[in-house]
Chains A and B, each alone.
Chain A
Amino acid sequence: MAFDWQPLALVPAISLLALPLFDSASTWLTLTVAGLAMGMIVFIIASGLTLVFGLMDVLNFGHGVFIAIGAFVATSVLGAMGDWTGSTYLALNLVAVFLAMLAAMAAASAVGVVFERLLVRPVYGQHLKQILITMGGMIIGEEVIKIIWGPQQIPLPLPEGLRGAWLLGEAAVEKYRVLAMLLGILMYASLVWTLNRTKIGLLIRAGVDNREMVESLGYPIRRLFVAVFVAGSALAGLGGVMWGLYQQNVVPQMGAQVNVLIFIVIIIGGLGSASGALIGALLVGLMANYTGFLAPKIALFSNIGLMVAILLWRPRGVYPVTNR
């Protein structure tokens, strides 16, 4: 089947359409880079959620917990490594951030294992209960975070070497945003590689397509699902660190805030589709930054408007997954 280019073309189309709305091209460039960076971060968070839904028909309303856990673990790790983050050597900064990301992913996947076992597994196949239970899990997770780290906002400053911006003509392009974009592209590439070039990926795609068939061929789809769920949690934890560094602070409610965004993203993308999630995330990221600059009060509504427009065009998202 030929690749469907239309949704992909939407991303440059939207950014070019927005160009005449700005006074200067440099503002536009700054905002576009910010939007793409935000989009990549949101994609990292949303990819796990959409795969879990595609594979097992489980919608996790508590996905936000993993984001918040990741971000809060990162505040502790980076806080403890003040020498390294304060150092002027870029390499030391990067190692510190990398370690923080690893710790965040480990913590988020540990929570993911517990979450899957206690909350998600008993309610397989019952959508209504899934929504209610995972929502309950989200409340509990948020409160536990408040107990451990306190209810207040915690600053998460960027390490020395990642602060500041490069000047491209008149446009300021922040270093961290470029890093976030690169990391996002790396994660997307490895995800696509895993899904398309490995046996695990083949099984996951087959499971999304037809679960019973994979099961009857003797593959343990349950174990596969747990693996995807945990990997998705780890990705959300990683995304949480990146989101926290992007915002430069973290609050216990951040999970619920980001949840709304990633729901819009996976609806736009088509539930279960990783590439769709990427397109949705980039569109949402660009839209949020453009409207945040032009008309801040309606920023969230612009994303809903975007979702409505996309669903009118393709009612099941840009890349609908068969039989879902």
Chain B
Amino acid sequence: MMLKRLLSNDLPRSRALTVLLVIIVLTLAFAPFLLPGVKALSVAAKILVFIVLVASYDLLLGYTGIVSFAHTLFFGIGAYGVAIACTRWGAGWQALASGIGAALALSLLLALAIGLFSLRVRAIFFAMITLAFASAFQTLASQLSDFTGGEDGLSFKLPELLSPGHSFSDSPWLGVALDGRLLCYYLLFAMALALLLALIRIVNSPFGRVLQAIRENEFRAEALGYRVVVFRTLSSVLSALFATLAGVMLALWLRYNGPDTSLSFEVMLDILLILVIGGMGTLYGAVIGAALFVAAQSYLQDLLRLASEAASGLPWLAALLSPDRWLLWLGVLFVLSVYHFPTGIVGTLRGRKAVTPTD
């Protein structure tokens, strides 16, 4: 069957999960028509970006068992690649393509360097080293203000075809204006779909099997004749390239990039949270987690504001529920889900012990 081949024989294996996935994919596919309003479409676009970003991180954490805190580094490189190219060389396709190309090349080199250097040592070293790299890079990006726009970031124009000003038809179709913004959304949708299917293909290939073998028992994989360092490095390079493309998607949609949108540690925490909640080592977990989390994040702060106002009689409770403190609740949710929910939504729905990577 066609669909089975598309999904590389890795079906959801649970009816509830299948239904959920179909709902999410259909909602995202028809989001401009189903969910009117600028905010809703932006939420949908952000979900698309995070699906790719978190799925690429899953290749690293869920399938290979590597903890990296430098994933936002590559996400940021992708976003900055587009932003810097479009600011410097104007809003042309050529500028866009060369920006993406340069970003991919830089990510490739950096991931290769970090991987070859630090994947030889223990996993815990790698986590700490990537954390240091990510924070150094964020500082660098905000200090090289001539190049990156510093803390303010860069706002830029995209080629005419993708900008909201461009209109394909004077009359709206099904109540939706056919403009460049809509085309941009569907470009993102197509990219997300293609990249996700490519990732599913990768993890189900013989190469992906080796990665899972390394995750389960590094020593045995090495004894079977696989060069663990090489496979780990390849996995981290691949995941970096996909993250770069996710960054490209983000920049295309926002037409802006700054250190806080793509490089900050909060984005890294979001990725971890989504993956843990969705379910590690499944890729479908990335889809479900991203959809639920981004939607919740976008509306949770509104909810907290209401709760905080309702609790205004008790000052300490109001302070706890203030919308500025939403990270506190995400932190609590994160800790609780690592304890009680280690297989995530996908693992729970599949109803059996899902793979949990160990060190």
Residues of chain A at the chain B interface (Cβ within 8 Å):
59, 61, 119, 122-123, 126-129, 131-133, 135-137, 139-140, 142-144, 146-147, 151, 256-257, 259-260, 263-264, 267, 271, 297-298, 300-301, 303-304, 307-308, 311, 315-316
Contact status B328-A307, CB under 8 Å: no
Decide if B338 touches A300 in the complex (CB within 8 Å). Answer: no
Stretch at the interface among B42-50, B133-141, B167-175, B197-205: B133-141
Interface mask (B300-334 → A, CB under 8 Å = 1, otherwise 0): 00000000000000000001100011011011101
The residue from B124, B139, B319, B342 contacting A127, defined by CB atoms under 8 A apart = B124
> Which residue of A is nearest B265, CB measured?
A256
Asked if A301 and B136 sit within 8 Å, CB to CB, the answer is yes
Known: A128-B359, A131-B124, A297-B140. A140 touches B328 (CB 8 A): yes
Please, could you name 25 A-B residue pairs with CB atoms under 8 Å apart, sorted by A? A126-B359, A127-B123, A127-B358, A131-B67, A131-B124, A133-B339, A135-B269, A140-B331, A143-B328, A146-B325, A147-B319, A147-B328, A259-B131, A260-B132, A264-B132, A267-B125, A267-B128, A271-B125, A300-B139, A303-B132, A304-B129, A304-B136, A307-B132, A311-B117, A316-B121
Q: Is there contact, CB below 8 Å, between B359 and A263?
A: no
Question: Given A136-B338, A139-B331, A139-B334, does the pair A260, B135 have CB atoms closer than 8 Å?
Answer: yes
The 9 closest A-B pairs by CB, nearest first: A127-B359, A143-B328, A139-B331, A136-B335, A300-B136, A263-B128, A140-B331, A136-B334, A260-B135
Q: Contact: A132 with B144, CB < 8 Å?
A: no
Give Cα distance in the complex from A151 to B342, angstroms: 32
Q: Which of A122, A143, A303 contacts B325 (CB 8 A)?
A: A143
Tell me, rounded to whole Å, the shortest Cβ–Cβ distance linking A212 to chain B.
19
Taking the closest CB of chain A, its distance from the CB of B190, in whole angstroms, is 33
How many residues of B sit at the interface, in one of the four size bands? 35 or more
- Taken together as a complex, chains A and B put the C-alpha atoms of A61 and B265 apart, in Å, by 14
A122: contacting residue among B120, B129, B339, B357, CB under 8 A = B339
Contacts of A301 in B (CB 8 A): 136, 140
Q: Is the interface of A mostly helix, strand, loop or mixed?
A: helix
B41 within 8 A of A: no
Tell me what chain B mostly uses at the interface: helix, strand, loop, or mixed: helix
Chain B: which residue is nearest A150 at the CB level? B319
A297-B265 in contact (CB<8A) = no
Give the docked Cα–Cα distance between A143 and B319 (Å). 11
CB of A139 within 8 A of CB of B143, answer no
Q: Is the CB of A260 within 8 A of B131?
A: yes
For B269, the chain A residues whose CB sits under 8 A away are 135, 139
Q: How far is the CA of A316 from the CA of B124 in the complex (A)?
A: 12
Q: Please name all residues of chain B whose beta carbon is closer than 8 Å to the beta carbon of A126 when the two chains form the complex.
A: 358-359
Q: A181 to chain B: closest CB distance in Å?
A: 25
Shortest distance in angstroms between B185's beta carbon and chain A's nearest beta carbon?
32
Contact residues in B for A146 (Cβ distance below 8 Å): 324-325
Closest to A315 in B: B121
B272 CB within 8 Å of chain A: yes
Give every chain A residue within 8 A of B240 (Cβ-Cβ).
none
The closest CB in chain A to the CB of B127 belongs to A131
Chain B residues with CB under 8 A of A151: 324
Known: A59-B124, A301-B140. A267 touches B332 (CB 8 A): no
Q: Do residues B325 and A263 form an inter-chain contact, with CB atoms below 8 A?
A: no
Verify if B82 is at the interface (C-beta below 8 Å from A): no
A304 to B123, CA, bound (A): 18
Q: B208 on the interface (CB 8 Å rule)? A: no
Shortest Cβ distance from A257 into B: residue: B135
